[in-house]
Amino acid sequence: MRDGLKILFVLLSALLLHRTAFAAEVIELPPEELAQESVLPVFDKPVSVKNRNVVTQDKIDLNFFYGMAMTEPIYDVSKFGIAGYYNLNEFHAFGVLFAKNSGGLSKYADQLKAEDMDFSVAPKPESTFLLDYNAKAYYGKMSMSKSIVLNTILYGSAGIGMVKFQNKSYPALALGLGQKFFFNSHWAFRFDLRMYANNAPIPFNKAAKTTDPNYPAGYGDFEERLTYTSNLEAGLTYLF
């Protein structure tokens, strides 16, 4: 009889569990009580990119670019350059940059001929050489109208070097920002905005005026001072 009671207890428990299982109902919550936002998880050691499409570590990249000295008043604003960088890792790269200035004068210099100014007698900038450091702070990818995916690197640059004029070379510093858009794992478009600071001969000398008794002035007649020039560069990068 005692065994019978035990079994009856087991039976009742089973029945209860059985009914509970089948009686499970779908609970429908009103939409306003459902989660409305997504949140990003926070990890102790966050690693945002685990497998890069564009791996730069221990690689060399070669760059060809066209530059435009946007705040140059007198000389031709165009320059063409080549640069090579060694990428220590995904965040730091060191390299050298060489840019050759186009000869000639700007449209402003041509306009000032009407004021008897001849800037062709002033020493012109010929080339720029920099040791350049790139801090590749941002790496990412972007979709163009959901059809093409490009990888991009946004970096800061700091360079030290020389700006060579026809008569003399001057030390120069350059700070800038740049961005590369990789359309495959080797080739990229690159854009750089650099601010150069260097001493330079100033062409606005009296002896550059054709009516001045000392005209034409010699290169040594032009005073020097610190100048700032903003440069916009656009070009191609090949990553070996």
Partner 1 sequence: MLSTRVCTLISLLALALLPSASFAQAEAGTGSEDLEIIEMELGKSAPKNEVRETPTYNEPSTKENEMKDFSGLGRLAPFKEISVIQKRFMPKTERFQLFFGPSFITNDPWFTSIGAWLKGSYFFSETWGVELSYSFMSTEERQATKELKENNNIKSKSLVYPKSYMGADIMWVPIYGKMSYFNENIIPFDLYFSAGYGSTETQLGSSASTLHIATGQIFALSKAFAARWDFSWNFYNAQTEDNETNAFNNLFLTVGVSWFFPEAKYR
| Distant-in-sequence, close-in-space partners of 67: CB < 8 Å, separation ≥ 6 | 78, 79, 80, 81, 99, 231, 232, 233
Contact status: 202 vs partner 1 (CB under 8 A): yes
Q: Answer for the pair 168, 218: CB distance below 8 angstroms, yes or no.
A: no
- The answer to whether 209 contacts partner 1 (rule: CB under 8 A) is yes
Residues 141-200 that bind partner 1 (CB under 8 A): 141-146, 149-150, 152, 154, 193
Question: Which 8-state DSSP code applies to residue 41?
Answer: -
Contact (CB, 8 A) for 152 and 141:
yes
In the numeric block, the tokens 């700032």 are attached to 228
Candidates 80-88, 135-143, 155-163, 164-172 — which segment interacts with partner 1 by CB under 8 A? 135-143
Options 7, 88, 160, 173; binder of partner 1; rule CB under 8 A = 7
Please report, as residue ranges, which positions from 16 to 75 form the binding site for partner 1 (by CB under 8 A).
17-18, 21-23, 26, 36-38, 40, 46-53, 70-73
Distance, in Å, from the CA atom of 198 to the CA atom of 222, rounded to the nearest integer, reads 15
CA–CA separation, 126 vs 105, rounded Å? 12
**Which residues of the chain form contacts with partner 1 (CB under 8 A)?**
1, 3-4, 7-8, 10-11, 14-15, 17-18, 21-23, 26, 36-38, 40, 46-53, 70-73, 90-91, 108, 111-112, 115, 117, 137-146, 149-150, 152, 154, 193, 202, 204-206, 208-209, 225, 230, 232
